[in-house]
Structure 1
């Protein structure tokens, strides 16, 4: 069973360069936990969108990552948090096709579709925290010598 080494982190999100570090960390952590390439790509895409939202709409914040276990299943939990203005209309922000900027981002709804579990806590003037959890679809295969 994978350990928490290389999975647990608290990364700042204060610049575009930090977005790169977030994506790299999520890909590496998901790989360590046995996520396949497609699963890694989905999770990295969701994380990229959520990190960008944290930076652009929340004025910066952080991402915390950790192992999530349920029985024998081991997944990855990511929480993106900021102390920004909060989300005024959460239902609208989660609706398909909604974007609050001129970008082509997939928005919260798109990120939600890419992960297994998704929750948002937000209060006007107090900030936002988005937590996602993803699980690998199958246990990592045992490598066999040739």
Structure 2
């Protein structure tokens, strides 16, 4: 059985300055609270969003985030897609390694964000940019996927 999700109105926010980073954090927290995420879940999601927004700004030269509430009537979640047109990630495996940093930080950006959400995907092409998409579920568990056929 296929699980049909209603996508509420998605919000797209620019990421081009430190002020935008604060606005992204605020909007992610508000969307998570409205969906019923608990305080700890909200904090994890906002932390992941903060790391990914900063990466979009610092390493990608800016871009945007698309915030999409997910609601099937039974399962609720939040999808965040961070997109830039920067140089891309040359070695994704290395970039996802704990402790790796290309910018003098703590090296917890991508790997740390990945641990804070239930779903994590990176699409990066050198010279074309990067999109990092994360999904967190109110229950903390992704809904079951149906098998085709």
TM-score (norm 1): 0.87
Q: Does 1:43 align with 2:40?
A: no
2:69 equivalent among 60, 67, 72: 67
What is the DSSP-based 3-state SS (H/G/I as helix, E as strand, rest coil) of the residue aligned with 2:14?
strand
**Equivalent residues of 1:120, 1:131 under 8 A apart:** yes
Match of 2:83 in 1: 81
Q: Which contiguous aligned blocks of 4+ residues in structure 1 show a shift greater than 3 angstroms?
A: none
TM-score (norm 2): 0.85
Match of 1:4 in 2: 8
Structure 2: 5+ residue stretches without partners: 1-6, 141-149
What is the DSSP-based 3-state SS (H/G/I as helix, E as strand, rest coil) of the residue aligned with 2:139?
coil
Structure 1: 5+ residue stretches without partners: 139-146
Match of 1:97 in 2: 99
What is the DSSP-based 3-state SS (H/G/I as helix, E as strand, rest coil) of the residue aligned with 1:49?
helix
**Deviation of the 1:119 alpha carbon:** 0.1
